[in-house]
Amino acid sequence: MQLLTILTSIALIGTLCGASGTAQAAASTPGTADTVFLEMNQAYKNGQSKRLSELLPQTRGHLLEPWAAYWELRARLETASPQEITAFLKRYQGTYQEDRLRNDWLLLLGQNRDWNTFMVEHPSYRMGDDRSVRCYALLADFNGRQQEVAAQIETLWLAQPNADDACAAAADQQLKAGKLKAHSAWVRARLGMENDRQRVATQALGLLNADWADTASAIYAKPEQFLAGRVLALRPRTKELVTLALIRLAVVNPEAAAIEVDKLRWKTQLTQEERSWVWGVIGKRSALRLSSGALAYFMNGQDQFMHDDHLAWKARAALRAGNWEQVASATAAMSESQGKDSTWVYWRARALMAAGKTEADRAEATRLLQDIAGVRGFYELLAQEELGLPIILPTNPEPLTASEKNAARTNPGLQRALAAIELGLRSEGVREWNYTTNLHQNGGMADRELLAAADLACQHEVWDRCINTSERTRSLVDLTQRFPMPHKQAVLARTRDIGLDPAYVYGLIRQESRFVTDARSGVGASGLMQVMPATASWTAKKIGMTDFKAYQITESKTNIAIGTGYLKLVLDDFAGSMPMAAAAYNAGPGRPRAWRGQSGAPVMEAAAWAENIPFNETRDYVKKVLANTTIYAAMISGKTQSLKARLGMIGPRNDAAPLNRDIP
């Protein structure tokens, strides 16, 4: 705990001046204080308010005192007096903990409809990223606003993934005032049905008619029964309920929904907008199954009536089918924000190149590629190559000055974050680090401030904050921060011994763990290469590590040996395909075998294959691992690289090739 001891000492002699601005004597030695903080953190997780209050006095004057005070007050926030809360906010003014507690308090004030206190406190809230708080603010100040807020509330409500009190109450207020149209509530209900969120759908319909909440539940449970025998009905409300039932049926059984929505009674009774949304859900669900008929389903509807998620999956289905005209159509219909994503900028450019019939189309394609080309990500690298430009690493910025480094080193928020991470409170430390780098001087840190913060994290080997902070620079790019190479000797020696590309291993570790040696996933994967216990035992036997013990998987050298051994076995099984091996490493080898298609399936470029991976996490993972690999290869070799060459083509497996179904 050397870092924590040093930082605590700094705090005690007054360099930091404490969160409240006055240095106080420590009540305990650093080692004892560590134990107190860890016990308080566990007590907070267990809801032991009394124990938190007992331990709090022992943390006075400690660098991490704001965390202890936050846990203690947050655990009893519902019964705390306003005076206690305002005293806390004053004592820890300017800290993450102050703003975090104000966020919590604003939510409580909103739930209790204490609008007077809410409106006094809300202007001091700096985070501004909690949708529920934003909805409460719009709800609280409805009568005081001259401008229309319905559009803001609609945007927040539709984007809220779960049913909450704040945005639903704000929407209800706007519906009753006639500022928000009923169609918004129907759209919210559609999203609930489509995304397996029953409570979202029932809450939305309940705002329109209290009796419809039960109807929504019945539709969600058995959509086919609701549709059975339903007579032709001209009433808009009945049509909307039918639309919800068709959407829900599409989620459960897209083929049955396709037959149902194509019946004459729905063709004549439902609007083109209603039917197009249903076809969008059918197409998306079919595309997630990699069905060859997915694109045809999409084409029964009209793009302008589908939402962005439908259009994204239509574009993917069109890529899989090699239909560039439909890729162009889907990307053209996307919202402005989604259309600017590098994924769809790239594929729209490719579609215009392939299907464009005019010089203007080709010129537009070139412009789109130029807009995103660079080394910042997967599609940026592909755009660079598509333009015929070599992938050359940018020159690093001018070295940081002593004053720039010192500003980061003495930043109280960064100091607390590093101390929390050192103590094992990684979640708390990461949140405070992100807050400090995001909100500094109200506009976020400038590029060189971010580089200095990243450098501080690198020096302390907090590699995830080093990478993520450096990645947020806008114009300056320091690839030595973004793509560090810890454990270099072990990685290079191991990959040389087994014939594995070290850049590929680094690309994978960077995505798996950000080089956090004690990283542990929610499903039990451990260490730098995030190896599952069963996989570790199996691989250890395969590579001749006869004395392997389960606890050793957290040791970096052992983790690298087993992780690279497994990766080599998977890569060989997929005939050297880096995209497929990466997918197998993340999702297991059985899934990419199915995703590549059976005999007769089309051969496609691996970028299109990767974009069609039905798991969001694995799709993102494969693209990032391959982009990382390309950058690391350039750094290691000093030579220009090709992402396209690493991607290659993907098609059905050669039936004559050996298949190792033993790989877990």
Q: Which residues are catalytic?
A: 512
Buried (b) or exposed (e) across 52-88, using 16+ Cβ within 10 A? beebbebbbbbbbbbbbbbbbbbbebeebeeeebeeb
Distance between CA atoms of 629 and 635, rounded to whole angstroms?
A: 10
DSSP three-state, residue 204: helix
DSSP three-state, residue 650: strand
Distance between CA atoms of 346 and 327, rounded to whole angstroms?
A: 11
Per the CB < 8 A criterion, the answer to whether 385 and 419 are in contact is no
Per the CB < 8 A criterion, the answer to whether 563 and 542 are in contact is no
The stretches of 483-588 forming alpha helices (DSSP H) are: 488-498, 502-512, 533-542, 556-573, 578-587
Distance between CA atoms of 528 and 555, rounded to whole angstroms?
A: 9
Distance between CA atoms of 319 and 231, rounded to whole angstroms?
A: 39
Q: How many CB atoms lie within 10 A of CB 394?
A: 11
Q: What are phi and psi of 605, to 5 degrees?
A: -65, 145
Q: Would you state the structure tokens that stand for residue 52, as one six-digit string?
A: 């938190």
List, in sequence order, every residue forming a beta bridge with 278; answer none if it has no partner. Answer: none
Query: Which residues have CB under 8 Å from 251's CB, separation 6+?
Result: 193, 194, 196, 281, 285
List, in sequence order, every residue forming a beta bridge with 604; answer none if it has no partner. Answer: 650
Specify the DSSP class assigned to residue 604: E
Q: What Rg do the C-alpha atoms of the chain give, in angstroms?
A: 28
- Burial environment of residue 551 by CB neighbours within 10 A (0 to 12, 13 to 18, 19 or more): exposed
Per the CB < 8 A criterion, the answer to whether 66 and 436 are in contact is no
Specify the DSSP class assigned to residue 15: S
The residue assigned the tokens 């270099």 is: 488
Distance from the Cα of residue 663 to its chain's centroid? 29
Distance between CA atoms of 72 and 53, rounded to whole angstroms?
A: 6
The residue assigned the tokens 């990766």 is: 567
- How many residues comprise the chain? 664
Full 3-state SS string of 626-646: HHHHHHHHHHHHCCCECHHHH
